[in-house]
Structure 1
Amino acid sequence: MHTPVTIIGAGLGGLTLARVLHVHGIPATVHEAEPSPAARAQGGMLDIHDYNGQLAVEAAGLMDEFRGIVLEGRQAMRVLRPDGTVLVDKADDGTGGRPEAQRGELRQMLLDSLPPGTVHWGHKVSGVRALGSGRHEVTFADGSTVVADLLVGADGAWSRVRPLLTDVTPEYAGTAFVETYLFDADTRHPAAAKVVGGGSLMVPGEDGKLIGAHREKGDTLHTYVTLTESLESLDFPDPATAIERVARKFDGWAPELVALITETDTAPVLRPHYGLPTGLRWDRIPGVTLVGDAAHLSPPDGEGANQAMLDGAELAKALAAHPGDAEAALTAYEQEMYVRAETPIDDEFLLESLFGDDVPQELAATFTAVREDMP
């Protein structure tokens, strides 16, 4: 007999966990704060890696469905200097191991794979308390409660489940994204569209500054401007001031790159980066564990969604391998998860996975410098 699993959070990690549990015949319920699947935009493109995210998709039995939402050609990659000089212009030849998909479509793929009623929408957690014997009571904002025999926090950076295991909280990492969107780019923003190309763009500069952009579905350019600033200096009173102040930090950069900031069709969105301490572990508490950002939040490095999905898949597989002994499963899962979270991706391996075997020396040096500047 398998213990039913109560999952808090219908992000990619929680939904992957629910799906792989379903594959193994283990009952699960997901509680999500958002009122519906379409309550808010789900973010931009994600590259799903063959060494973690795709392993989770395979465990979920959804590789055919995943291939159906992959955006063809988006593994193309350009790397430029701030003056616009091209360092790398790599086409998508179909052999890369990091296919791109829209986060919203990936989430919907997982939702569609679950039995009806698995996800309970509009269930925002207001508190969690231990009842003893590994059971926990979850209270929701509407006053309703549920008692969990096995509770999993898949509820992200500000997890309400994490305090059951540790009093450690995320801290500001010293960097932030400012996100912009350019719509109908080829027609309305041709210079910016040309510089981004058909996939992704990366332009590293000094002092931790970086402009990154993706060509997303529907001729949309999604830009991520990375700044290394204090939280106080990122207090922008209005969108126009924000655009002006951010663009000023890139004075002297090629105008087609600065256009990714100044020509935005939306108000810029500020996203400060937070992280949990590297190597965070906790004492084994019966009946509860964490996956994804709830367990090992870090500043964006391209691995977060992939790691969350793999966490969910590996936890489900551990539970399936230990019927009637959830504690053995949680112990095995956590020990492996700790190692994964603590083990950085090798720079040489990452460069080859992004750009192939022939990596220019200047790019390797620039890339390593950018990685070293990351918190």
Structure 2
Amino acid sequence: MTIAIVGAGLGGLALARVLHLNGMDSVVYERETSRGARGQGGMLDIHSGQRALREAGLIDRFHAIARGEGQDMRLLQPDGTLLFQEDTPDDAPLERPEVDRADLRDLLLDSLPEGVVRWGHACASADNGLLRFADGGSAPYDLLVGADGARSRVRALLTDARPTHIGQNVVEIGIPDIDRTHPGLAAMVGRGSYWVLGDGLSLAAQRNGDGRVRIGLSFYNTAEDWFATSEIPFDDPAAARARLIELLPGWDPRFTALIAACDDTVVPRSITTLPVGLTWPSAPDVTLVGDAAHLMPPVGEGANMALLDGALLGRALATHPDDFPTAVKDYEREMFARTGAAARMSADLQELLMSPDAAQHMLAFFRPG
């Protein structure tokens, strides 16, 4: 029977890999034209998702590309006060290592036989066992798995739920090759994550494996159309950086120096989520994994849940290779409980970040008691 997976993200690829290990074929349809068609984002904190990589037979290869030093953490206030610092010993276990999303995706892609992923296939619609593509082509399926992210087209086959804005808008910027170009700033940021939390604002800087520091400036309790009124000229990177510095009045000059040192990549992102605890009546021939099923605030759970979704759906299908409806029900029962709990925890953490005393709340979170 034909298993069609829409989307070559982490969840879809983990599913294809586990199916392959169990002697089951699948086809992954991806709208991008190639694996390098666009950037894949920054670093991921992989913790519970390591279970999925073990299920996929890839844990040793994952450890080879994971960055244990990425577990380092520094938490500060806008006036420069250091609230919390955690430096990871070189021999520390890889409990929550960081890994470049692109490297992790490449690991999964390289584990699949040639031809499993069909590039340049954008899903337009699906019903009655037929998947239709934007170029007019089509493909049959017995089971359709939507692994197509926040704007999933497959989701509409199961639920009317749509992502909604949560009051957070992010501007992504970055400093390439920071050790060479700005060694003082590199030493300040350190090897892992660097957070500055203010009232309604945060700066999150993170060291990537390629030497780039990615910086996200979050503006909380802002409307979905905030970028239109923010007076940030995104078509003029130098002026955009200057405007971002204006939006951080009273912040320590070290933090604004980070922004001034960034290159011309300035990307606005509005943050949306699906309802916490979203479920749907099980269908015999379609299901969802990853952000298509449970889009959460970006606080470290989404990628882990996507990996687990793919691996555990693959295991359920391998357990019931001739009974897809039972496999889907078993998978969804576990997935709803697991991801519902993760979504509630993520929403609680997001609420702390959006609160007036975010820095103190997060200090208590990292250093309980």
The one-letter code matched in structure 2 to 1:84 is: G
One of 182, 201, 220 as aligned partner of 2:194: 201
* Aligned counterparts of 1:163 and 1:211: Cα–Cα separation in 2: 35
Counterpart position of 2:316: 318
One of 149, 165, 177 as aligned partner of 1:172: 165
% of aligned pairs identical?
A: 46
Contact 1:4 1:26 (8 Å CA) reproduced: no
Q: TM-score by structure 2 length?
A: 0.89
Give the total of aligned pairs.
348
* Aligned counterparts of 1:81 and 1:336: Cα–Cα separation in 2: 40
The one-letter code matched in structure 1 to 2:61 is: E
The one-letter code matched in structure 2 to 1:330 is: V
The CA deviation at 1:262 is 2.4
One of 257, 268, 272 as aligned partner of 1:270: 268
Counterpart position of 2:354: none
In the alignment, does 2:211 pair up with 1:192? no
Counterpart position of 1:354: none
Q: TM-score by structure 1 length?
A: 0.88
The one-letter code matched in structure 1 to 2:180 is: T
Helix, strand or coil for the counterpart of 1:343? helix
* Aligned counterparts of 2:213 and 2:101: Cα–Cα separation in 1: 15
Counterpart position of 1:355: none
1:124-177 per-position Cα deviation (integer Å, ceiling 9, x unaligned) = 111112x2xxxx211111111001101000000111101110121111111022
1:89-100 aligned within 5 A: 89-93=85-89, 94-100=92-98
The one-letter code matched in structure 2 to 1:141 is: A
Gaps (5+ residues) in structure 2? Answer: 350-357
1:109-136 per-position Cα deviation (integer Å, ceiling 9, x unaligned) = 000000110000000111112x2xxxx2
Counterpart position of 1:6: 4
In the alignment, does 2:52 pair up with 1:60? no
Helix, strand or coil for the counterpart of 1:320? helix
Counterpart position of 1:220: 212
* Aligned counterparts of 2:70 and 2:360: Cα–Cα separation in 1: 22
* Aligned counterparts of 2:190 and 2:25: Cα–Cα separation in 1: 45
One of 124, 130, 147 as aligned partner of 1:154: 147
Contact 1:70 1:100 (8 Å CA) reproduced: yes
1:54-102 per-position Cα deviation (integer Å, ceiling 9, x unaligned) = 0010000001111111124221111112122222221112235111111
- Tell me the C-alpha RMSD between the 2 structures: 2.1
The CA deviation at 1:108 is 0.5
Gaps (5+ residues) in structure 1? Answer: 352-361, 371-375
One of 106, 117, 135 as aligned partner of 2:104: 106
The CA deviation at 1:4 is 3.1
Contact 1:281 1:338 (8 Å CA) reproduced: yes
In the alignment, does 2:300 pair up with 1:302? yes
Change (3 A) 1:150 1:344: closer
